[in-house]
Structure 1
């Protein structure tokens, strides 16, 4: 009966993980140092949060998934970095859609219930009311 030997990790596996983390830190350290020198503490926390969860973590997950999916850890790491920044670029270039203005309404002069500004008839007491035109805000 042959004795089975446990699978051993390749000696370069730990070195690759260490290199991936060092590359992530090298890419992120200028942002951290620049933030420490010139910006306030809240901005520093935002940058650290971004680097941790939006830059290093996807790269590390790509590295790990690259090993699992047989595309290679380096390719997975690079895909994690590239897709992360591609998503950030799309987010920055995508036009911002403004939220529609909320009609806060007004009070009915007869029953004092809240109705829409453009209403001609109170939905609570069924009394006719004068509609109020909403003026657009062009100050932007």
Structure 2
């Protein structure tokens, strides 16, 4: 790889990490964050929990429930409950339409912090990797471009 290609890869790699990692975070946590920000606080009854397999060794419970909002009975998935210990109980949720969440803003911000740390780590790795490649391509190994 020549010097100009390495420097371009460094620049685009950093830009790509700062675009894709936050977009992935929004894709994963965006819906729950939207429900938290715009939802109405109410109580939901946990009707059932289904066990879903995650990989070879893990599983998770996905719980569904029902709630009343403005005199209308709604039902759907309840984000944030991952344990069938709540089965048959009423839980405090924020709802919009057929979507409910028990997750707090703090948990959403924690995952945003993890995404930020990941973006910084990837940027540092890309910077170091392609800077070294650019220096190697020019034959300058002294540490100065």
Interval of TM-score (by shorter of Structure 1 and Structure 2): 0.3 to 0.5
Q: Greater share of strand residues, 1 or 2? A: 2
Relative contact order higher in (CA < 8 Å, ≥ 6 apart) = 2
Q: TM-score, normalised by structure 2?
A: 0.33
Computing the radius of gyration from Cα coordinates, the structure with the larger value is: 1
Q: Greater share of helix residues, 1 or 2? A: 1
Q: TM-score, normalised by structure 1?
A: 0.34
